[in-house]
Amino acid sequence: MLPKTILFAASVATVAGFASTPTTTTTTTTNPCQDAPLRNDLPNLPCENAKVQSGANVTVGAQGLLAPDLDPIPLPLTDTGACAVNVHWHLGAEHYSQGQYDISPTTTGRRLAGSMQAGYKCPTTNDAMYTTEYNWQYCKDMHVGETYEFHWPHSNLGECGTDWQFQSHFLDGVLCAATKAGMTVSQAADAIFTSKTAKIGVMGQVFTIVNAAGDARYDYPAWNMLHGWNDGLATDVAVYQGSTTGSAANNDDQCRGYGGMVTWHQDRNCHKVSAKAVDELCRVMLTQSDDMSEDVEPHGARELVDPRWTTNVIMTR
């Protein structure tokens, strides 16, 4: 039998009471996704006991050493019944893309207050758009000229189409149906690895924040930043199976217990987005039914995962 921490859910379709993917239309005044118990039941593991991890080197031709148990979920993720359940971002890129976000955080870049771990940076210049700070109203501890990797976690266990669709911590949203059904860890993992009724994916896109007053090119007014990446920019994307991320993990004894459960669609290119647009995203996040205030500021970045712990499927276009 697999260790408890590598299992994660027996058929959600049976336990949660739906045939394939959940469809929810009712709204309650009580958050049904709050404090998902399962996120505490899948702690970090020694890396040799965990499954494939993220963030990986997504350069075309890159390859790790671990075989994933699942094939990635293709786009659009919504075809599985999944919806975006959160948006958040990390200081610097947690992935590595040669020729794009590949500037080491140890050689350049501003560190924020405290000891936040930074990821890779996109190249910038001394142009005023990278150096003129913005008067932020809603986001916290954000800076023009910095690189951030934005993540949109999607799940068909989310409270899709209701007031509680967007959640912080993001795993509350990813695991909402399992929380509502009172599932255990050993009940929850067939749904991902065996019956494959549960689908979890993340869209990742890397941006440098710019202050381009009077230049609306980077405002992207048609882009709904709450619900997913800018698909008009995502023209070169790595697709692979991995894990959740975050600076609490490393390459030794702190790999994620969610290894192998997450399909990543990671845009390989650096892009620019205006501080104005990101501040508007933060404003919208703060209007959600769940308290998303913890996500209107950057999170620390995980160190790039050693190839020993990443997928052995070659990164392709």
- Give the DSSP per-residue string, 63-118: --SBPPSSPPPPSPGGGGT-EE---EEEEBBSSB-TTSS-B-TTTS----STTPPP
**In the prediction, which pLDDT does 105 show?**
83
- Bin 99: left if φ > 0, else alpha if -120 < ψ < 50, else beta: left
pLDDT value, residue 114: 56
Cis-peptide, bond into residue 169, ω within 30° of zero: yes
Question: Which pLDDT score is estimated for 110?
Answer: 47
Query: What integer pLDDT is reported at residue 294 of this predicted model?
Result: 98
Q: What is the pTM of this model?
A: 0.91
- Based on its alpha-carbon atoms, the radius of gyration of the chain, rounded to whole angstroms, reads 19
pLDDT at site 17: 37
User: Which amino acid is located at 246 in the chain?
Assistant: G
Indicate the SS3 state at residue 262.
strand
195 backbone dihedrals φ, ψ, rounded to 5°: -70, -25
d(CA 109, CA 117): 11
**DSSP state string for 112-145:** -STTPPP-BB----S-HHHHS----SS-SS--TT
Return per-residue pLDDT of the chain as tens, 317 residues. 333 333 333 334 433 433 334 444 456 789 999 999 998 888 899 999 999 999 999 999 999 999 999 999 999 999 999 999 999 999 999 999 999 999 998 644 444 445 799 999 999 999 999 999 999 999 999 999 999 999 999 999 999 999 999 999 999 999 999 999 998 877 788 899 999 999 999 999 999 999 988 788 999 999 999 999 999 999 999 999 999 999 999 999 999 999 999 999 999 999 999 999 999 999 999 999 999 999 999 999 999 999 999 999 999 99
- Residue 26 is predicted with a pLDDT of 54
- What is the chain's percent helix, strand, coil content, to nearest 5? 20, 20, 65
Give the residue from 208, 241, 32 showing the smallest Cα distance to 103.
208
